[in-house]
Structure 1
Amino acid sequence: MVREIQDTCKELLFEMKNYDECIKICQEAVDVGRENRADFKLIARVLTRIGNCYRAKKDFKNAKTFYEKSLSEHRTPETKELLSKLEKIIREEERKAYIDPVKAEQEKELGNEKFKNGDYPAAIKHYSEAIRRNPDDPKIYSNRAACYTKLAEFNLGLKDL
């Protein structure tokens, strides 16, 4: 009965978007559960709820940590799915944070210098970095394709074009 009340309380706090209070209560529940040797499934469920709170707060690193802790307690398909979706979000956020058109232009200029000097592998390296920095610039792709054709890598050049 007490466990049901605690679960209901945690659900209400989560739905009311009082995430900090929900995390605090869940942490206490984990501590009490460990002291009383509660079932691993119950502890895993509470750790997943903490991860959900952090995900809702857009604190993806802490959310990932708690999902992993939950999976170490008890592996459930739902938590594994939440973790994989979160990892995709994290990778996308990191990719977006890496985009910088100014640095892409600098790398493109370095690639142009290497291309003029005939150092095509180094030019490809710089152009590839420029593409990672600004994937929407078509000129960089065509420059890298020109390097590939100079190296007789026609399939890779065609792919860039």
Structure 2
Amino acid sequence: MVSQFHSNSHTGRSLSARSSSFSSRSSPNNAPRCMGFQPVENPSTSDIAEVNEFLKDFAKVYDLLDVMLVVEIADPEYVYDWRKQAEDTMKAKGKAGMTSAQLKDFVDRFMPAYKEYLPGLYGNGVSTELPQLNIKIDSNRIPID
């Protein structure tokens, strides 16, 4: 089964779609997409330590990859604007979306992980054995040097 993520799941407050919407694949994916992180050595909070434990199991996925392409954001704060753009698009289509306060609360919950894990992902990658290409983008999602 291939999991799916929808930014309007659960009235916009979750990325996970219900498992009933997952699709089956009979042939391998040539370019799977995933959020890639590696456990950090000295987690700053107990929440990050808990995530580290889950990441140990997730690391098995990296053994299935030939290469990792990392889309590197110049500033994690871009996520607030990007999420607002997604919410505005959903609302324009008549779908439910988050209020500004809900949006801030939602993205705020991801920020500690972004700030903890992204430097290692960008600098060291998810594996020393997996080739990695980093492409840095700006707030408009345009590649930059």
Q: State whether TM-score is above 0.5.
A: no
Give 1 or 2 for the bigger CA radius of gyration: 1
Q: TM-score, normalising length from structure 1?
A: 0.26
**Structure holding more strand per residue:** 2
Structure 2-normalised TM-score? 0.28
Where relative contact order (Cα < 8 A, 6+ residues apart) is larger, the structure is: 2
